Structure 1
């Protein structure tokens, strides 16, 4: 780990980047996405809250074993965040950037804080604005590394969902597996056709090449396998988080059941939603707990405690780091103004 210590830094200066073409105009369409996500979250939360009021009162950790499990869940989530930062650093360096490990760690935490409190995964935008100048690279390159991260996560989670849900638990019914496979194959085929078109169009290729570079770099054997292994490790640790949180409220799961819960919630989280996947992830938790034989009261207890574990500590730490290291909201506004200029 880097020995760099946080120091106060001057406000970000608006430095023009001639290598980056102007962003395409489409603000009206982009502005609809946060509204759609918030609407989905509001409706989902309303449904979850109405359902929760019909269940028995939730219980919280009270015994030494349950409190220890809760502390363990928070520690495991911190470890998963560290591995995510390491993966991001490797993606950045592979693209020729020169990030400090300390920045990768802190900006990963800040990004999750932003995703928890702001709509439309704005935490990712914060990571882009703050990481690019510090890693001596373009914003498009940073965006490309985040795209590669997301694709690695989606690939692992979809395989996990199908393998665990269908092959081991039998919880995915009907033609769900076949539908997921068809959608995956169609998406891969569409991406391949789209990339062939992009490569033939010099202007479009110049615009989008930095966004696709990190993902295309995964084709290199050792590099791609290392990042895939890190991604699998991340979600193995996340499974431990969900299992420990369950133990904290008396809902014990074996590793297979824990993986099922993680994969189910992650698939639900792909639905557009508001900050912190509010509503969609909660609905997945309720569905999963009931599928594994838990009661409604257990589902509510687990839902509330899981929200605490994966939202509260990292959000508080992210806010502290944003203010102490990166100048707080003032610098974010300067970065956003630079991006729009």
Structure 2
């Protein structure tokens, strides 16, 4: 691991441990949660699992279209199967290693440059962040009237930090240009940024539409889990909790966003004034739906279709050598 990034993994684990400990301590002070025990709540729970699978299918199609736009003829079956493998990797391994697994397995099967495949994952991430950020602003105002937004002073500090980051980036580009290294950097990063540069015109609009559909389906998952838990929230309020949790998921954390997602769900439910025991039940159901089925399917696909961890290591070595 590069010297400058050695602190990222310990920081992620520390954030998760502290957040998870706080969540567990809080949950132990509440009444025992009631899990689905009626036909209606059981049906809602089963519907959430099914809807999450549909969202994964749409993600697979979006990835295939991003690859196709980069002239990568990726097999449709691999685009869909590797979504599940990637989910599994992100749920059980640190540093979103599942995304790396997707790229390493896809590159040789599609006969593509690994950097180009990685670039499509970057485009996915940027699309998700853009839609989630916009959704959070809208849903927060609709659900809680904007409560919980940072104060203007905090916003000013964040903007100042962003401006400083842009200034540093511009300075770095100027130094690289002066030393004659900018061309080499562009050649190295060009394939990685290619998919993002293509997000314009009709293709960009289609990808934004697909991303909105994905998160609309995920909103349905979160709302159905709330129905199964008896939390008593409407789809807009479920969308607010989803957006809040997903934005906090940008914070470095342990596998499966342990701790950070849990804290965000409970904070969001509390902001909506929902019962604490129902909030705990909601969190437990969400954790099951978002982690257990997809991790099991992803592991089965990893072993049966992609040869397991040993094949991953050999594929990674082959990509690095090439």
TM-score using structure 2 length: 0.91
Cα deviations by residue, 1:270-324 (Å, 9 ceiling, x for unpaired): 1100101110000000001111111221111111110000100000000000111
- Report which stretch shifted further, 47-56 or 115-124: 47-56
Match of 1:104 in 2: 79
2:144 counterpart residue number: 169
- After TM superposition, the structure 1 = structure 2 runs for residues 23-42 of structure 1, keeping only pairs within 5 Å, are 27-42=2-17
CA distance in 2 between counterparts of 1:247 and 1:73 reads: 10
Distance 2:153 2:132 in 1: 13
**1:101–1:270 CA distance, 2 compared to 1 (3 A):** same
**Do residues 300 (structure 1) and 280 (structure 2) align?**
yes
Which of 298, 318, 321 aligns to 2:298? It is 318
Map 1:248-327; keep pairs closer than 5 Å. 248-327=228-307
Query: Which deviations, in whole Å up to 9, do the C-alpha atoms of 1:67-106 show, x marking residues without a partner?
Result: 0000100011001111111111111111111101000000
| Contact 1:45–1:278, Cα closer than 8 Å, also in 2 | yes
Paired positions, count: 315
Give the distance between the partners of 2:255 and 2:287, measured in 1 at CA: 12
Contact 1:199 1:205 in 2 (8 A): no
293-302 or 307-316, larger mean C-alpha shift: 293-302
Correspondence 1:1-341 to 2 at 5 A: 27-166=2-141, 168-170=143-145, 171-175=147-151, 179=155, 182=159, 186=163, 193=170, 201-219=182-200, 221-339=201-319, 341=321
**Structure 1 Cα separation of the partners of residues 143 and 263 of structure 2:** 22
Distance 1:164 1:194, change over 3 A: farther
CA deviation profile, 1:85-137 (whole Å, cap 9, x unmatched): 11111111111111010000000110000000000100011011100011111
Distance change in 2, residues 1:103/1:48 (3 Å):
same
Q: CA RMSD in A?
A: 2.4
| Contact 2:92/2:256 (<8 A) preserved | yes
Question: Is the contact made by 2:105 and 2:315 (CA closer than 8 Å) also made in structure 1?
Answer: yes
Please give the alpha-carbon distance, in whole angstroms, between the structure 1 residues aligned to 2:319 and 2:9. 19
* Distance in structure 1 (CA, Å) of the matches to 2:171 and 2:64: 28
Change (3 A) 1:40 1:258: same
- The whole-number CA distance in structure 1 between the counterparts of 2:2 and 2:154 is 36
**1:145-204 residue CA offsets vs partner (Å, 9 max, x unmatched):** 011000000011111111221355223345269829847974995698489759951011
User: Cα–Cα, structure 1 residues 105 and 184, in superposed 2: closer, same or farther, change >3 Å?
Assistant: farther
Partner secondary structure for residue 94 of structure 2: coil
Question: Quick one: distance in 1 between partners of 2:246 and 2:2?
Answer: 28
Query: For structure 1, which runs of at least 5 residues remain unmatched after alignment?
Result: 1-25
Cα pair distance change 1:257/1:190, threshold 3 Å: farther
Q: Tell me, which stretches of 5 or more residues in structure 2 are unaligned?
A: none
